[in-house]
Structure 1
């Protein structure tokens, strides 16, 4: 009977971890993009959440891979945030489109 309760509790905890990983995967990127005021939740918050998940007991291989993938995505988001925008993307889309039409007309 004790094995059943232990197994059931472990299965429940694994399901909660899966749900937490799925939640983070859905909301991490949008929350870091935020709005005009900046990120809603910063990278440090997500990194802390992911490392707390890594400390859980008996993670499956797929859970470890999913957490690792999220940490890589987080690193990528942080790197892109620090990178300067290329000159081509600094102009509004409308001016790029109108310039393209002007070049075509000249030919």
Structure 2
């Protein structure tokens, strides 16, 4: 998404940056967690978005702190071992136990 933040007035630009930061803070973690196929959007995408915001300049102290916090979250996510999405969970991890106890004779 190509944004031209530098052409907006000061207050409009600040509002747009605040909204971008709030959006990223809301969806980044969920996107990185993803689903069984892995992350929906990779850490590199979020890092690029945050660096684009930093490149706009004239950020407030609160905006800088929030962006820094989000970048630290990305660092932490990348440092943690990622789950193997292509392996199956063991059978012992089944969500529901069998509806009846197993008997030695095989009869119910």
Instruction: Give the TM-score normalised by the residue count of structure 2.
Output: 0.67
Deviation, 1:81, is: 3.5
- Residues matched between the structures, number: 82
Number of the residue aligned with 2:39: 39
Unaligned residue ranges in structure 1 (runs of 5+): 1-7, 85-89, 95-107
**Cα distance in structure 2, aligned partners of 1:37 and 1:26:** 21
**Cα distance in structure 2, aligned partners of 1:40 and 1:81:** 17
Number of the residue aligned with 2:77: 77
Number of the residue aligned with 1:54: 54
**Cα distance in structure 1, aligned partners of 2:19 and 2:48:** 17
**Cα distance in structure 1, aligned partners of 2:81 and 2:45:** 16
1:13 paired with 2:13, answer yes
SS of 1:41's equivalent in the other structure is: coil
SS of 2:57's equivalent in the other structure is: coil
Number of the residue aligned with 1:64: 64
Deviation, 1:58, is: 0.9
Following TM superposition, the consecutive aligned residue runs of length 4 or more in structure 1 with deviations greater than 2 angstroms are 81-84, 90-94
**Cα distance in structure 2, aligned partners of 1:93 and 1:81:** 23
